[in-house]
Structure 1
């Protein structure tokens, strides 16, 4: 995306102009994407309401805003480039932090919107492609934010079992939502996330309907999943998909995070734990071989994202500037 060049640059104060532009773009994000009012933005950015009003007006008049933000912050572009260089990523999308350490709901919404745009671009580039998707709160937010064009030949497939222990369907399943919005086809893995035993898993994995979805996922043009931490507050534990005892077994084997329901250690290696052995879905190695996108928002995700990057779990990252800065600090 090209950066507009029609700003009047004051030769003796380039840094002041850059700061003004940064404030303008940040205010525009909070107003148009975050749906915050001007008083809330003023409090968030430490500016007067009059100043915020002027920044938003400038964003409109200078062409920065055209329904969506078309002028990304130069600072964010630099962060994205540094992330790609430091961690050998094919691409990185960094959205502005809302100012609360990257842990607010608006930060998560910003990242979900950016991830939805990434998925929509993938569908636009390959409208007859295969898109392998995980599920969970992050991916549900991506599905909610998805605004891509119709793609009736596209196929969307789950990468892991979608049935939960307490329900016949998974409220966080996203394949149906995305397929419905695009007019494409949705494919599910008609099995639980975790089999009761390893023997049960082998039976499930051998079922024809399961094999069909797994084979399709392994051929995906793009795969996408959120990155979670290996803590009691993580989605899998909070939703009782993984028990505390099961989590402790994962942690005892070195787990620091999970991706698509698979736990990995600090070097991004998928650990030999009971949950990973009983999980129904594509393997961790499959993600390394695909065009895989990782999604993460919030300071608490830095450790798990860093570990996944070390192991090359994904080639693309969508995150916020709090996480990006934390990762760059770790990279030295």
Structure 2
């Protein structure tokens, strides 16, 4: 059986272009729609495989073939890209919204899973790294969702005091659970989240065990915390870690949100308030210098996330579609 040869029409023949175009369209249809490989197309059209390859390439370059990605997640990828450009983020992960008015437990769970995946990737990239983590309901959900490879040399450290007057979520759970799942080491700050006085804070911050954890946190390869609003509905107030009176003092000094237990204003500046002065933990400015990830879910977080972005509190964001669209509307 003879090997098929390309049928070449003389360049000056009136039908040359029409014949070439028809062959291109046929080859493209068989390849993209008929799902045939180039060898099968060559046999079908009586052409060589080299000719078929050239025809398919021409179909792409001339716009005969319009390849579209139609999976629903492409819209989220576009949102992530727009967010990075609008707010100079190193990365952004956006999960779909449940469509329940912007406040959904499903959204919070999806965001926590995405944040856990972000942390797991960080651990995989730096299995002997240091990972500084806050605590609270958001971070507890991240710890619960965490699935990752073993990393016995990884170290996980809390960024704020781990003793509280009252908390529904165990402050020790985040570091302990993730360290347990990776086989790594967990470090805590053996002090209250808030000291009774500024003088007490200075004494606690000077303790060797506290200094050891703080120094480790300051050297972190990745830091992560939830972003909360400065309202009575926020985690810190709802769990009575901060009183209404303390919250009002923060708000009087311009606070609109908090990150790792520190309150900041609409420009992302950590405010001079009583809570911030008495908090035991890593300073707010430290987060700006680290590879820090912010996590937020729900429409109520838009104002506080926007403020944190303005102040460069974090370089990476994990959030939901509702928050991302709200932030892009603010960016114009």
TM-score interval, normalised by the smaller of the two chains: 0.7 to 0.9
Give 1:4 shift. 33
Deviation string 1:207-239 (CA, Å, 9 cap, x unpaired) is: 000000000000000000000000001000011
C-alpha spacing 1:76/1:251, structure 2 compared with 1 (3 Å) = same
Residues 9 and 71 of structure 1: is their aligned pair in 2 closer, same or farther, counting only changes over 3 Å?
A: farther
Q: Deviations over 1:88-121 (max 9, x none)?
A: 0000000000111331110000000000000000
What is the rounded CA distance, in whole Å, between the counterparts of 2:25 and 2:139 in structure 1?
26
Distance verdict in 2 for CA 1:11–1:40, change over 3 Å: closer
SS class of match (1:5): coil
Structure 1 range deviating more: 97-106 or 39-48: 39-48
TM-score, reference length from structure 2:
0.78
Alpha-carbon shift at residue 170 of structure 1 (Å): 3.3
**For 2:263, what is the secondary structure of its paired residue?**
strand
Residue 196 of structure 2 aligns to a residue whose secondary structure is coil
- Mapped partners of 1:3, 1:279: distance in 2: 81
Q: Any gaps of 5 or more consecutive residues in structure 2? A: none
Distance 1:150 1:108, change over 3 A: same
Say which one has the larger Rg. Answer: 2
1:71–1:159: structure 2 CA closer, same or farther, 3 Å change rule? farther
Moved more, 78-87 or 163-172: 163-172
After TM superposition, the structure 1 stretch with the greater mean CA deviation from structure 2, 17-26 or 136-145, is 17-26
Using a 3 Å threshold, how does the CA distance of structure 1 residues 171 and 54 change in structure 2: closer, same or farther? farther
When residues 120 and 55 of structure 1 are mapped into structure 2, their CA distance, relative to the original with a 3 A threshold, is farther
Residue 247 of structure 1 deviates from its aligned partner by: 0.1
Query: Residues 246 and 274 of structure 1 are in contact (CA less than 8 Å); yes or no, is this contact kept in structure 2?
Result: yes
SS in structure 2 of the partner of residue 24 of structure 1: helix
> Deviation of residue 57 (structure 1)?
32
Q: Could you say what secondary structure the match of 1:225 adopts? A: strand
Closer, same or farther in 2 for the Cα pair 1:291/1:276, shift >3 Å?
same
Distance change >3 Å, CA 106–CA 41, structure 1 → 2: farther
TM-superposed CA distance for 1:13, in Å, is 36
Q: Is this contact kept in 2: 1:179–1:186, CA < 8 A?
A: yes
Measure the CA separation in 2 of the matches of 1:17 and 1:265: 67
Contact 1:130/1:220 (CA < 8 Å) preserved in 2? yes
Distance 1:167 1:307, change over 3 A: closer
Shift of 1:271: 0.1
| Aligned match of 2:34 | 34
Deviation at 1:173, TM superposition (A): 3.7
Given that 1:25 and 1:72 are in contact with CA atoms closer than 8 Å, whether structure 2 keeps it comes out as: no
Aligned residues: 332
CA 1:84–1:199: 2 relative to 1, 3 Å: same
User: CA, structure 1 residues 3+252, in 2 after alignment: closer, same or farther (shift >3 Å)?
Assistant: farther
CA RMSD across the alignment: 12.8
Q: Deviations over 1:262-307 (max 9, x none)?
A: 0000000000000000000000000000000000000000000000
Aligned pair in 2 of structure 1 residues 198, 110: CA closer, same or farther (>3 Å)? same
Shift of 1:165: 1.3
Does the CA contact (< 8 Å) of 1:190 and 1:210 recur in 2?
yes
How far did 1:175 drift?
Answer: 0.5
- Say if 1:34 and 1:106, in contact at 8 Å, map to a contact too: no
- In structure 2, relative to structure 1, the CA distance for the partners of 1:47 and 1:284 (3 Å cut) is farther
Instruction: Work out whether residues 6 and 47 of structure 2, in 8 Å CA contact, stay in contact via their aligned partners in 1.
Output: no
| Further displaced range: 50-59 or 269-278 | 50-59
> TM (normalized to structure 1)?
0.78
Deviations 1:121-142 (A, max 9, x none): 0000000000000000000000
Counterpart in the other structure of 2:265: 265
CA distance in 2, matches of 1:286, 1:256: 20
CA contact (8 A) 2:194 2:279 kept: yes
Match status 1:239 vs 2:239: yes
Contact 2:6 2:48 in 1 (8 A): no
SS at match of 1:14: coil
